[in-house]
Amino acid sequence: MADIQIVQEHNLSPERARAAAQQVADKVATEFGMACRWDGDVLRFERSGVEGALTLGEQRAALRIKLGFLMSAFGPAIEAKVADKMRRVFAAA
């Protein structure tokens, strides 16, 4: 399994951070066909061959994605897309 870890600093209120995380989740869900659900301040997502979580903190969002064998070939592309989306939505003030 390949792991992707992205940490994005932010200065958003908890409500705006949650909305930003939901934007990331919506993009991931649409592009990669994943199911997402909130578990407190952790947004969990999964599909066959992929699982992960986006954890919200006061000033940072930490994303962890585990890719199965077949999906690991797409790891660099997935990481680039998700990192760019996180940077854009969490930087927006």
Select from 52, 56, 58 the least CA-distant residue to 36: 52
Q: Does domain 2-91 correspond to CATH entry 3.60.40.10? A: no
pLDDT of the chain along its 93 residues, tens only?
579 999 999 999 999 999 988 888 888 788 878 889 999 999 999 988 889 999 999 899 999 999 999 889 989 998 998 899 889 888 864
| C-alpha R_g of the chain | 12
- Determine contact, residues 28/34, Cβ cutoff 8 Å: yes
DSSP state of 4: E
